[in-house]
Structures are given as C-alpha cells and as structure tokens.
Amino acid sequence: SIDVPSVGGPNWYQYVLCGVKGILDNSTIQHDPARGMLIMLSGNIPPASGLSSSSAIVSATVLATAYMHNATLNKQTLATISAECEKFIGTQGGGMDQAIAYLAQEGCAQLIEWNPLRATPIQLPANAVFVIANSLSEANKAATSDFNQRVVECRLASRLLAKQMKLNWRELNRFADLQKALGYSLEQMDALVQANLSLNVYTRTDLLKLLDVTEEDFTENLLTPNTRNSQTFKLKQRALHVFQEALRVQQFIETAKSTPEDCISRMKALMKQSHESLRTLYECSHENLDQIVTISDRLGVGTRLTGAGWGGCTVALCDGVEESKRFVETLKAEFYANIPKAQASDIGSLCFTTSPQRGAEIYLIEKQQNNILPTP
C-alpha cells in the first residue's frame, strides 16, 4: 500500500505518489507485480497557476505506471483513475482536468460528459487565438478549504433541492444527477433554484433543520475533512452559477457549430459572462484576475479565469493573431509593468498565445539510434 498524506500543502512528488497508487492499489486493474521505477519529471506549466499542473503530474504518472506494469487501459479509464486518485491528496475535484489531459484533440475544444466519461470534439473557428495570462497570484487549491467549500456547497444545494422535491436526497449530491432525476431543462433548473433556495446565506443550523439531520451526521457525511468547521453556506449562488454556466456551454457549442459571421464575437461575450458569474456567484476570482479582465474588456477580448480560481491564470479568446498581439502588449504595459514580481520573470512564460493540442501520449526512446517515437 502507498501512503499519500492528505493534509498540509503537498509537494510535487506527492502527486506522483497519487498516480502510482491509482494503478498499483487498484484491485480492478490487471497489471504486472509492482516494480521500482526511476522517474524524471520536467514541465513548463507554472505551479499554482490554475493550469492543472497538479493534474498533469497525476495523469502523466498514471499513464507511465500503467505502461511500466503492462496494464492495458483506454483513455477514458485512465482519465477516470487519474481523477479518483488525485483525491488522495485531499482535493475534491470533478475530473475535468484529467479528462482533457487524455482526450484533447488538436484545434478543438472538448465537451466533457460523465457516466460514462466521453468527449465530443468541438471544432473552433480557424482564426480563434487563445492568450494565457498569469495573474501572479498563486492558487494552491490543495492548501486551503476554499476549493472544497464550493464543492460542499454545490452538494448541499443539490441535496436540499432533492429533499424539497421529495426525492432520495442522500443519493443526489450532483446537480447533473438531480437534473436527470427531475427530467428538467437547464432553464427549468435555474427557475427551480430561484424559487426554492430562498436564503442568500444558509447557516449550519438552517441546514440541520431543513435536511432533518443531526450535527454528527451533517459533519461526518455531508462535509469534507477541511470544511467541517464551516458555519455558513451560499447554496443559491453556487447552484445558479453551475446551471447558468452549463447553459453558456451549450450556447458556445451551438455558436461553434453554426459558424455565424459573428461567431467569435458571440463566444467572447459568453467568456465575459462566465467570468462575471465566477466573480459574483461562485466567488472564486481575485483582484489580479479581475484587473486582466477589465483590460481585455476595453480591447474587445473575451476573457475569464481558468482553473479553480482564487488566482492563477486567465484564458482569453482573440479574433486573429493581430488582436492577440495587441492584447499581450497591452497586458505587458498596463498589468505586468506594475508588478515587481513580473520584472524578475520571463514575461513570455507569464503571458503567451496558445491553441488546443493532443492529449497525453507515451514516447519511447530507441537507445541505438536515439530516436524518440510516439506510442499510440
């Protein structure tokens, strides 16, 4: 058995242990007996930047460990294992980062769906250019309770709505499952939240009464270890964000498929709306992120935070290379020039253009020819 500490700020190697444990401690996976591995880790994803650096390590380690132990697994299974084993570190993520790490395709966004895990490629406009900008405010979701607090608030909102609708509320802690059980559209779920979650802030006492549970039951079964001292919960705001964001995803896909003349302009507007919702309803933004978004709004660029929030990076959608260049130069002059920390950094590593590429792959080095060959 591999022990992964679940409390405290984890070091990078503990994410490697998560990946190894995900394969070797999984009794449902057929693999060779455990063997030692020499692992060299290198990467250019800034840590605590909201760009899934931790999930990248876990996913890469799961893939490498599976390969080294002759475990034959498809990408969907690898993504599911990676999402589950990252929870050993203490974060309650949903699996989106790990899914895209394996299922990404060049030039496409991916619609990630669950139960079962599947990805649908969404072809992006040819002139769509993305800009990543680091806010230089680190977002270490494993070191604080903020990330898990939002997860808990969403689960509590789903359960409370389920109880109000006379469903088996203990089994319905995911909004997607609740929506399926009710047979509602996203618009109907939005209306349900507006009508039934009446309080802006729910106290612990409120929820004990509404769910008809004991303090012990609530603490042990409805909270996570690092949220057990939480006294207040914003259920309505979190639920509204989730359902409205899901609707924006649908609108983004419809826009991409119909390719109207103002396709990118519509996508930009959805990106802007998304960030505003993350800022006001989900409350996971940061003043540095908001400053970048304000600059982008002035330039007509669609920008939102990416990753868990509370710092990290923004992702911006630009219409063509020239617009992306103007945006990058403006950020250098108006944002990074005013941050001392940026002066000691390579600006090119803080703010850069990018595009969707392929997901995780294995490359084998032939010792004699020193060739590097990809493995399907």
Residues marked as catalytic: 97
Enumerate helices (H) and strands (E) in the chain, giving the number of each. 15, 10
Inter-residue contact 241 to 285 (CB < 8 Å) = no
Strand 313-319 to strand 351-354: parallel, antiparallel, or no bridges (unpaired)?
unpaired
3-state secondary structure 233-293: ECHHHHHHHHHHHHHHHHHHHHHHHHCCCCHHHHHHHHHHHHHHHHHHCCCCCCHHHHHHH
> Rounded to a whole number, what is the largest CA-CA distance in the chain?
70
Cα–Cα distance measured from residue 345 to residue 186, given in angstroms and rounded to the nearest whole number: 44
- The 10 Å Cβ neighbour count of residue 261 is 7
What one-character DSSP code corresponds to residue 46? P
Q: Which two tokens stand for residue 300?
A: 């007509």
Exposed, middle or buried, 125 (CB in 10 Å: 0-12/13-18/19+)? middle
Burial of 367 (0-12, 13-18, 19+ CB in 10 A): exposed
Measure Cα distances from 208 to 211, 217, 222, 265, 369 in Å.
6, 9, 11, 46, 67
